[in-house]
Amino acid sequence: MSIQPLFLSMLSILTLVAKPSTCATDTFVYGGCSRIKYNPGTPYEYNVNSILTSLVNSASSTNYNNFKISLPGSTKNDIVYGLYQCRGDLSNSDCRDCVAHAVSRLGVLCPGSSGGALQFDGCFIKYDNLTFFGVEDKSVVMKKCGPSIGFDSDGMTSRDSLLGYLTAGGQYFRIGGSGNVQGVAQCVQDLSMNQCQDCLSEATLQLRNQCGSAAWGDMFLGKCYARYSSREDHSRSHDSHDDDDDDDEMQKTLAILIGLIAGVALVIVFLSCLAKLCDRKGGGK
């Protein structure tokens, strides 16, 4: 009996258990798909695949780009529009990794859909058969508020001051802090700066109205978002604590599996030696 096949099988189990954790930029925020489907093998499918590939390739060199793609000879209905944008503080390599993961995730989320959008913590991608470039979209697509921590007057002043700064920052990507509150905001760069200001004004207004004195808040509109959190509150970090617990459990599981592998290997070696000894005795009779 050979030890190698069993060892390789157990090693494959270890590989499955010890899968690496995803980076923070790949944290899923929201996603959506068009109800309209395209037929496989059509020019539209080719254009979708082509535009998604273009998003990934372009993300290696810049944190925003948009594309309009149409297969030569295809009709107007086959045109696909797409864009991506990364968080303003990401490096080119991190941007590309985020966009590549988003494209892969969108393919699972929206198979065969004529349009789709996906927001990760670090990047945003979208494609459709109708142009959306330069079109302002202030519809709420995702909102979350943390637990109420009862900001005092100074805390509320700091939070509102931060949101005011994020609204009037004058750039597509804005990050800042006031007192114990920090935040970030971003517009999709196909908007004009005036459209960006208008979108962020709505996002911060929604944060004030919806999240009140919450320790943290996220407001994602169709073409912009604003987020804030208090440095004194750790409720956002519960996922990291859960990950630490998962890592501890994984280490325990790995230790048990490694012990089992060692035990099984010893048993196999013993049985193999015993079998050879029996063969020698049998041959001597």
Q: CB under 8 Å, gap of 24 or more: what pairs does 99-104 form?
A: 99/55, 99/56, 99/59, 99/123, 99/125, 100/56, 100/59, 101/22, 101/26, 103/52, 103/55, 103/56
Model confidence at 240: pLDDT above 80: no
CA distance linking residue 37 with residue 201, whole number of Å? 35
Percent of the chain whose pLDDT exceeds 90: 61
**Domains of the chain, each with CATH number or no CATH:** 22-128 (3.30.430.20), 140-233 (3.30.430.20)
Distance of CA 17 to the CA centre of its chain: 21
Structure tokens at 69: 């793609």
CB 140 within 8 A of CB 241: no
Average pLDDT over residues 85-111: 97
Structure confidence by residue, pLDDT tens digits, 131-144: 999 999 999 999 99
Structure tokens at 81: 């529009």
pTM of the prediction? 0.74
CB 60 within 8 A of CB 96: yes
Of 103-112, 220-229, 251-260, the one with minimum mean pLDDT is: 251-260
- β-partners of residue 228 are 183, 217
Average predicted confidence (pLDDT) for the chain: 81
